[in-house]
Each structure stands twice: as C-alpha cells, then as structure tokens.
A and B are shown apart, each in its own frame.
Chain A
Amino acid sequence: MKALFYIIIFVALLVACWQFVKLLGLTKIENQTATDKENNINGWLLLAMMAFIFGLMIWSLFGTRHVLLPQLSASEEGYHIDILFKITMTMILIVQFVMQILIFWFSFKYRGNVNKKAYFFADSHKLEIWWTVIPASVLFILIGYGLWTWNQVMDSSDAENPLVVELYAKQFAWEARYAGEDGTLGYGNVRFIEGSNTMGVDMSDKNSADDIPLTPDPTSFVKELHLPKGRKVIFKLRAQESLHSAYMPHFRAQMNCVPGMVTQMAFTPSVTTAEMRKNKDIIKKYEGINKIRKAKGEEPVEFDYLLLCNKICGSGHYNMQLKIVVEEEAEFNKWLASQKTFAESN
C-alpha cells in the first residue's frame, strides 16, 4: 500500500511539472528551429559544462588518489602491467582532453545565429586518411606492447622451482593447499569430498600425502595464506559449485575459478606485508580509513593483502575474503614447516 503512495507522488510530480510550465507561459510559438536566445543560452551552458567536466576529471584524478590501490605493485608481473597502464592512461587522457575541448568549444563557438551561414564542407580524403592512420599507429604500438606484457604475465612455463598452491572456492569461503615437498598437487575433484576432506582431494593419489592444507592460525583463528617474496607462485584454481574469481588487486592478479576444470595464474610476490605497510600510499590510505572507522566507533585496522571473490556467486559474494601474508622466503619456509601435511594430520 505504501508503494501506491509513492506512485501517487510520482504521478503528481509528473502533472505538476507540466502545470508549472503552463503557469510560466513558457509554451511559446516561434517559427525558427531554435531562437538566437536559445542558441546563446545553451551555447554558454555548453561552455560551462566543459568546465564542469574538466573540474570533475581533475578532482577525480587527484582528489581520489589517496583511496586508490598503491602505485607500487606487490608482484613482479604487476610491475609490467603498471607501466602499460600508465602509458595507456596518459594517451587516453590526452585524447579525452583534446576531444572534449573540440566538442564543447565548437558547439559553443558555432552556436546558431539568424545572420550566420554554415560552411558547406562534406568531405576531405586527406583528413579522413589522417585520422584513420593516426589512431591506427597509436593502437598498433599499444597492441604490440600489450601483447608482450600479456605473455610476460601469463607464461609461467620457465619458472624455476615455483611454489604451487591450490585455491579452492566455494560459497562463500576460500580454502587452499600447498603442493608440499614434491611440488605437485594431488588430484582433486568434488567427488572425493567426505568428512574433513572438504576440498575433495584424492587421498589415494601418491602426490596427495605431502600436500599441506591451509588451516586457521592457532592464535588468531583466521586463515592466512602465506606467500614467499621473490619466488614464483603458481596458483591452481578450482571451484565447488559456482563460478568464483580469485582477485588479488595488490598483485594485479585475477583468474576465474570454474567448476569442472582447473584454471591457473602465477606471479612472483615482490613486496612483503611488512614492507607494504611502510609504503607512503598505504600509510596515507590507512590513515584515511582509520579516521573514518574512528568516527564510526570501530577498531582501527592495519594493511593486509587480500584475496577477494570477483565473480557473482550468490548472496554472500560480497564477503568472501582471505587474508594474504607475504614474507621473506626464510620466514615463509619456517611457517610452512610448522603446518601439517595430510599424512601428518590423519
């Protein structure tokens, strides 16, 4: 019933809008397509709009700096992506500024006037060729550099002694297991799920016994995915029932988890959690966050790397996270040694 009330308000506004126009007597009759007054007012407004858009762009570019991801990529592969991103963004911004100036300035400058005559200008092959060739050449450079970067990021075939980790996604949590001594994950399939074997690992596979499942930290009761700095990590991704996506924004890494198949991504962490906490972008961002949290009466937080789900997977999609800790390789090895393999925990 309340909905009806809102609908009546809506209709009333609709009617009021028209009545208002009638009251002001704005429904006038004129023979021109647009009067000079209309051309002038809208022409100037278009110029003002250009100022608004540029203001908004500059505010968005600089005013949102402190909320963005840190400029420093936490992985070696991300470093290449960041360079490509900067080059692309610079080009885009230049084109954006030039084009918007042209659009709004021309609209303003050539606003209609009864005494003016438009210039009949229908074609120019020279111009057409120029503005096919220029975007084409810029794009070929971007495509070339983009594909080189793509290969750098996706190709992990030449990695020496990589750490192999399985990430297993389900509604609405992450599980993980490390490949252990042999560097190979035992076969996994949801058909093996039983009791404590929540990831469906085939325990009869000889590679399974030394695999190390990720268990909650005994003190904080929070699951922490530890990764070593400077060693290539190959992630094998699986999903239990729905699509999910393993998204690690700080590492510039993302790959979907697909039921029925194993997908893969890889990167080399290059900044430890401790180092990142000293990064000036992070310090500034977390100062801002903690100020907001304090105002709301919430506990202050410290920076941590995160794994998020980035493919719609159900009602809990928005809260499917896993904490990631990057540490020096020696610390990591110590941590890994303290974890139990499947064989040990049974």
Chain B
Amino acid sequence: MSDHHHKETFVTKYIFSQDHKMISKQYLVTGVIMGIIGVFMSMLFRLQIGYPEKSFGIIEAFLGRSGEGGVMTPDMYLSLVTIHGTIMVFFVLTAGLSGTFSNLLIPLQIGARDMASGFLNMVSYWMFFLSSIIMVISLFVETGPAAAGWTIYPPLSALPELIPGSGLGMTLWLTSMAIFIASSLLGSLNYIVTVLNLRTKGMKMTRMPLTIWAFFITAIIGVVSFPVLLSAALLLIFDRSLGTSFYLSDIYVAGEVLHYKGGSPILFEHLFWFLGHPEVYIVILPAMGIVSEILATNSRKPIFGYRAMIMSIIAIAFLSTIVWGHHMFVTGMNPFLGSVFTFTTLLIAIPSAVKAFNWVTTIWRGNIQMTPATLFSIGFVSTFVTGGLTGIVLGDSALDINVHDTYFVVAHFHLVMGISAIFGMFAGVYHWFPKMYGKMMNKDLGFLHFWITLIAAYGVFFPMHFVGLAGLPRRYYNNTAFPIFDDLLQINEVMTIFAIIGGLAQIIFLSNFFFSIYKGRKAPQNPWKSNSLEWTTPVEHIHGNWPGEIPTVYRWPYDYSKTDENGDLWGGQDFTPQTVPIRQGEEEF
C-alpha cells in the first residue's frame, strides 16, 4: 500500500483504481448520475399527480408508448414510483452517500494509507456500477421496469400476470439488487476492518471524528441486515422461476388457480423490513456524522456531548434492528407483536432527540461560518426534526391504522430520511470537495442552490402531511376517481410546482459541481480551518495519502476555540489540529 513507485496507467489510475480517493469519486459521480435519473422521474410523476387531466410533451418524449399523447399509463406511473424509490434509497443515498464519504474519509480521518483491501474496494465499486447499469437497462425493456413499489411485496412482484412490470423488469431489478447487496457487503466489511485495524498512532476509538463513528456503525448495520434482503430476494427468485411457494399461496389469476400452496407474503414483508428499516438508518447515520462534523467545524465549537453522540449512534443502530414490524401493523401480523414493535419503535425517539438537542447546543454561542455546507447542515437538523416528529404518530400502532400507506407516510419519510440524508450528502460534497478534487466550489451558487432547495423541500413535503390526513392513499395514479379527493387537487398542484422548482434547482448544483472540478479555484491546504487529519494531506492526491510518515494524533478532533487559563485562544487561533501535542497546562478533553 505504501508503494509509491509502481507505474500507473490511465486504466489503473482512473478506471480500475484501488486508491480509496479515486473510488470515492467514482461512487460520487455514479451516485449523482443515478440521482439525476431518480429526481427526474419524481418530476414526471408529480406532473401526473398535480395535473391528471393535462398532457405534457415531456412525458411523451421520455416515456414513449407509455406516455402516448403526453399522459402516462397507470403501469408506467407505478414503475416510476418504484424505480424512483429504489434508485434514491439504494443507489443515491446508500452507495452515493455512504460509499463516497466512507471511502474518502475513513483512511484520511483515521490516518491510514488506504483501505484494508484496496482490491475488494475496487471490486465493491465495480459491482455497484454493474448493478446501476442493470437497473438503468431495466427501464428500457418492453414490458416496463419493475412496478410493484420499491418494497416489491409478492404476489404482485412475483407474477407477471398481475402487472407487466413483474416480468423481465422485475427479473432485472432482482439481479441488480443482488449484485448491489454483494457490493455493499464488500464495502462494509472493508470499512469495519479498516477502522478497527488501521488507525494511526494515538487515534483511539474515542478520538475518532463522529463521521468515522457513523460510517463504522453504519457498516455494521449493513453487514447485519443486507444479507437478509439478499435471502429474501433469492427466495422470491425461486418462487418466480422455480415454482417454489415461499411467499405464495391460494392464488387465482385469469381463470385458474395457480399451483402455489402454503407460502405467505407476510414472510417476505418480515424479511424485507428486517433490512428495510435498518436501511433508513444506513442512509441517515452517515449524514448525521457528516452534519456533526461540519456543524462543529463551522461553528468553531466542539461538538456538544461527543460521548453522548457516540452512545446515541450505537443505541439507534441497536434499536434499528428490532423495530421492523412497525411497517406491518396492519398486515395481519399478530396484534401482540404490534404492541412490542410500538414499544421498541418509540424508544428510538430518545437517542434521536438527544442528537437533535446536541446539534442545537453545538451551534449555541458559536461563531457560525455560513458556508454552503453549514447551511445544508442546518437544513438537515430542521428537516430531520420536522420529519422525525411525525414518526411518533406512525410508530404508534393505534395511530398508524388510519395513516398507514397514505401520503402522511410519504411526507414523513421524505423529510426525515430523504431530504435530510440528501442535505447531509450535499453538505458533505460542499465541505470535502476541496479534498476530493483539490478545487473550491463556487459559494454563491452553493447558497442559491441551498435556499431554493430548502424552500422547495418544505413546500412539497409539509403540505403533503395534510393530504395524507385527508385520507389520500399513496401510489394512486389518479386522484380524480373519488369525488372525496377532488378538493385535494389544488394542494397537489402547489406541491408539484414546488417539486419542479426543487428539481430544476439541482441544475445549479450540477453546474457548480462539474465546472468546479475543472475550473474551480485551487483549494488551500485547510480551507475550513479544520482539526481533523484529512486536511494534513497534500492537496494533490498521492498514493498513500501522506508523503512521509503518517502523523501521530494527540487529541480529539473538536478542540475549536479552546482557551488557556487566561481566557486567550491557544496559540492565537481558534482551532487546534489533532496532530498538535497536548500543551503544558492543557487538559485533554
């Protein structure tokens, strides 16, 4: 790993690279491209919901036969929501967020030359790339992409007789996801091993930045829960292709009873949500880590309650594996089980509340430097609180009955894990862009991007709660079939307008991102005056990260604005990097 001399060709440097910094950039760019597809889909189906009786050229242009006359078919609508969910949750917020920043920051912030296994890391990325390609190919098959919702509950996902998307489209979906899971597992194992074994001298576990703690715990949840989804998918493949009956029983389609006997779709739901719920924490924990780091750095203050933050990450991770049943209160699961899951689910609110209070206390009496990354972090805390609070409604089995599968749920999870996590990702990109590309992003475009995105996010998802409280079920192609929903059309129109504004605002980000790579101002060594180790590496990327020895660490990374006994800043500056030894008379935190 510390071999600086071996020759690099274009292929080994940019394509089959084993360098964690290059792999992280590969993850990010792939994630961004998948994000463009996912967000664009949401704009198309928002047009359908907001303007069910109008026709749009853009729908016909992109959906072809499924959008003839500028109006999409019901099957295509369901495909779009399915693939939008899949892409955003897995390809953007799992691989794009966690893959990018775990790869970039784990070796740099713990002081390692590279990941424990550069080769596995490369394989992990290329499997992710392959799964992305397969998912995109599935958009072009004749019977349409998978259309059973991102949760792909059988029997709908198992039988093409029920919906055309469950033919080749679903086969490709399952193939893509199986490869994705393998990729994610290789990545996670690598992160865990690296964090445990390759920390530099002095980098105790309790001196690691919260980003690393978040990535570390996220990787553990991934290793625990993703294999269960793989087995669920495998059994579904067996049911679809080999005639087994794991999930299917007593099914009558097109005039005949199918041979399936004895299976239960509820088994699939259990297996799916055993991953599915931890998955939302796989998505949100890295964002939380990133936000903690950025808020502390740019408030010029230590993160408040460092140990409580670690404990709450661990508590959330533990609880996340025993709450999956709250997605299944009304599936016919035993009501007693519902009680148990209500109890465990509402407990999660406690560590989440601790985190929110700690962030607020971190910015209290700070000296907040308003960079785009800071703004996105503040936006994160705001949307996380707004979205998280309604979780108390949904996690309560009795209350869930009447809002289950309505737009109330859609509003809740988009704010708490969609918008929040993507804000965490944007914050991370703005903050570590100088580390990734050696260039600065344009700040003014960053500000513009933030403000439009935040307003649009609230404009779409806040009123959506009330559409849900009016009883409107999700995944309805058309809300005009019931007179009872006629008066919701106006609110839906407003939400669609905000959605389109929010979607278009991402052009600002893309422009800033891609042009800054080439045209951005050259980055200084430590642009945010940060304490953590990654800013001690040279701006130009080199193999092995540090030209000489890896620096030794003497303190935690949050010594911002620390004063001596006279009340003066130590060393006359408001930050003390981790590599500075404890001074005489100074107490280590």
Interfacial residues, chain A to chain B (CB-CB below 8 A): 2-3, 5-6, 10, 13-15, 17-18, 21, 26-27, 29, 32-34, 38-39, 41-43, 45-46, 49, 52-53, 56-57, 60-61, 64, 66-69, 78, 80-81, 84-85, 88-89, 91-92, 95-96, 99-100, 102-104, 106-107, 110-113, 116-124, 127-128, 131-132, 135-136, 139, 142-143, 146-147, 149-155, 170-171, 189-191, 193, 200, 237, 240-243, 245, 247, 249-250, 252-256, 258-261, 263-264, 285, 288-289, 292-293, 301, 306, 308-319, 321
Known: A57-B462, A84-B399, A241-B162. A39 touches B368 (CB 8 A): yes
Contact B393 A88, beta carbon cutoff 8 Å: yes
Q: Which residues of B contact A154 (CB under 8 A)?
A: 335, 338
B551: CB under 8 A from chain A? no
Q: Is the CB–CB distance between B399 and A117 below 8 Å?
A: no
Q: Mark B470-500, 1 if CB is under 8 A from A, else 0.
A: 1101011111011110111101000000000
Task: Knowing A254-B401, A255-B330, say if A147 contacts B339 (CB, 8 Å).
Answer: yes
The answer to whether A311 and B401 have CB atoms under 8 Å apart is no
At the interface, yes or no: B140 with Cβ under 8 Å from chain A?
no
Identify 13 new A-B residue pairs, CB closer than 8 A, beyond the known A121-B365, A260-B248, A318-B477: A17-B508, A64-B466, A68-B466, A96-B389, A99-B360, A107-B363, A118-B300, A122-B558, A143-B343, A146-B399, A151-B335, A200-B252, A310-B405
**Which B residues are in CB contact (< 8 Å) with A308?**
471, 473, 482
Nearest Cβ on chain B to A182's Cβ, whole angstroms: 24
- The reply to whether the CB of B185 lies closer than 8 angstroms to some CB of chain A is no
Cα A183 to Cα B305 with chains together (Å) = 62
**Pair B368/A67 contact, Cβ less than 8 Å:** no
Q: Which of B308, B369, B401, B479 contacts A128 (CB 8 A)?
A: B308
The verdict on A2 contacting B61 (CB below 8 Å), with A69-B471, A310-B406 known, is yes
Most buried by B among A41, A241, A310, A313: A241
Let me know if A139 and B487 touch, CB within 8 A. Answer: no
B171 CB to closest chain A CB (Å) equals 18
- Nearest residue (CB) in A for B563 is A120
Is residue B200 contacting chain A, with contact meaning CB distance below 8 A? no
Q: Is B68 an interface residue (CB 8 A)?
A: no
A29 to B443, CA, bound (A): 11
Partner of A143, one of B335, B342, B511: B342
Residues B331 and A118 in contact, CB atoms below 8 Å apart: no
Which A residues lie within 8 Å of B404 (CB)? 245, 254, 310
Docked Cα-Cα span, A306 to B306, in Å, equals: 52
Task: Kindly state whether residue B78 has any CB partner on chain A within 8 Å.
Answer: yes
Contact assessment for A245 and B330 in the assembled complex, using a CB-CB cutoff below 8 Å: yes
CB-based contact B405/A311 at 8 Å: yes
Q: Are B354 and A131 in contact (CB under 8 A)?
A: yes
In the complex the two chains form, what is the Cα distance from A171 to B78 in whole Å?
15
B365 and A84: CB pair below 8 A?
no
Mask of B498-514 contacts with A, CB within 8 angstroms, 1/0: 00000000011011101
Binds A, one of B23-31, B111-119, B370-378: B370-378
Tell whether B143 is near chain A: CB-to-CB under 8 Å.
Answer: no
Residues of A within 8 A of B508 (CB): 17
Stretch at the interface among B11-19, B235-243, B261-269: B261-269
3 tightest A-B contacts by CB? A260-B249, A249-B471, A263-B332
Q: Contacting B367 at CB < 8 Å: which of A81, A110, A245, A316?
A: A110
Contact of B458 with A245 in the complex, beta carbons under 8 Å: no
In the assembled complex, how far is the CB of residue B351 from the closest CB belonging to chain A, in whole angstroms?
A: 8
Give which listed residue, A53, A69, A155, A260, contacts B470 with CB less than 8 A.
A69
Contact with A42, one of B299, B375, B561 (Cβ below 8 angstroms): B375
18 A-B residue pairings within 8 Å (CB atoms): A29-B521, A34-B374, A42-B370, A60-B462, A89-B393, A92-B389, A100-B382, A110-B368, A116-B367, A118-B300, A121-B364, A123-B305, A131-B353, A147-B342, A152-B398, A254-B402, A288-B487, A321-B481
Q: Does B159 sit within 8 A of A, measured CB to CB?
A: yes
Q: State how many residues of chain B have any CB contact under 8 Å with chain A.
A: 140
Closest to A308 in B: B473
Complex CA gap A103/B343 in Å reads 29
- CB within 8 Å of A: which of B515-573? 515, 519, 521, 527-529, 558, 560-563, 569
Which residues of chain A come closer than 8 Å to B142, judged between CB atoms? none
Q: How far apart sit A239 and B354, CA to CA, in the bound complex (Å)?
A: 44
Chain B 290-306 near chain A by CB (<8 Å), digits 1 or 0:
00000000111111111
Q: How far is the CA of A308 from the CA of B475 in the complex (A)?
A: 13
B299: chain A residues within 8 A (beta carbon): 110, 118
Q: Which residues of B contact A151 (CB under 8 A)?
A: 335, 339
- Which residue from chain B places its CB closest to the CB of A5 in the assembled complex? B61
Whether B386 and A100, one on each chain, are in contact in the complex, defined by CB atoms closer than 8 angstroms, is yes
Question: A53 to chain B: which residues have CB within 8 Å?
Answer: 382, 386, 458, 462
Are A18 and B162 also in contact (CB < 8 A) when A88-B399, A289-B486, A316-B74 are? no
Which of these, A38, A293, A318, contacts B443 with CB under 8 Å?
A: A38
Interface residue from B148, B306, B574 paired with A123 (Cβ < 8 Å): B306
Question: Are A68 and B470 CB-contacts (below 8 A) given A118-B301, A143-B342?
Answer: yes
User: Within residues 355 to 401 of chain B, which ones have a CB less than 8 A from any CB in chain A?
Assistant: 356-357, 360-361, 363-371, 374-375, 378, 381-382, 385-386, 389-390, 392-393, 396-399, 401
A117 touches B569 (CB 8 A): yes
Assess whether A112 is in contact with B370, with CB atoms less than 8 Å apart: yes
> What are the residues of chain B within 8 A of A39 when measuring CB–CB?
368-370
* Contact of A88 with B561 in the complex, beta carbons under 8 Å: no
Contact call B264/A260, Cβ cutoff below 8 A: yes
B447 contacts partner chain A, Cβ-Cβ < 8 Å: yes
A27 to B440, CA, bound (A): 10
Given A118-B366, A150-B342, A256-B332, A18 contacting B512 (CB threshold 8 A): yes
Known: A21-B445, A56-B463. A150 touches B302 (CB 8 A): no
Note all chain A residues with C-beta closer than 8 A to B248: 259-260
* CB-based contact B381/A103 at 8 Å: yes
A81 touches B569 (CB 8 A): no
Taking the closest CB of chain B, its distance from the CB of A237, in whole angstroms, is 8
- B240-273 vs A, Cβ < 8 Å mask (1 yes, 0 no): 0000000011111100010000111110000000
List the A side residues contacting B308 at CB < 8 Å.
123, 128
Residue numbers in A under 8 Å from B338 (CB-CB): 150, 154
Return chain A residues, CB-CB under 8 Å to B463.
56, 60, 64
B350 at the interface (CB under 8 A from A): yes
- CB A249 to nearest CB in B, in angstroms, measures 4
| A312/B475 contact (C-beta < 8 A), A243-B153, A258-B265 known | yes
- In the bound complex, residues from chain B placing their C-beta under 8 Å from that of A254 are 330, 401-402, 404-405
The CA-CA distance from A106 to B155 in the complex, in Å, is 51
| Given known A117-B367, A139-B350, contact A99–B298 (CB-CB < 8 A) | no
By beta carbon, the residue of chain B nearest A94 is B389
B451→A45 contact, CB < 8 A: yes
In the complex, which of the residues A29, A190, A315, A316 contacts B250, with contact meaning CB atoms closer than 8 Å?
A190
Asked if B481 contacts A38 (CB within 8 A), the reply is: no
Within 8 A of A (CB), among B54-77: 57-58, 60-62, 73-75
A255–B332 touching, CB < 8 Å? yes
Closest to A123 in B: B305
Residues of A near B370 (CB, < 8 A) are 34, 38-39, 41-43, 111-112
Neighbouring B residues of A111 by C-beta, 8 Å: 368, 370
Instruction: Name the A residues within 8 Å of B149 (CB-CB).
Output: 312
A259-B155 in contact (CB<8A): yes
Q: A96-B386, A106-B364, A121-B361 are in contact. Are A289 and B487 (CB under 8 A)?
A: yes
A43 to B451, CA, bound (A): 12
Q: Give the shortest distance, in Å, between A295 (CB) and chain B (any CB).
A: 10
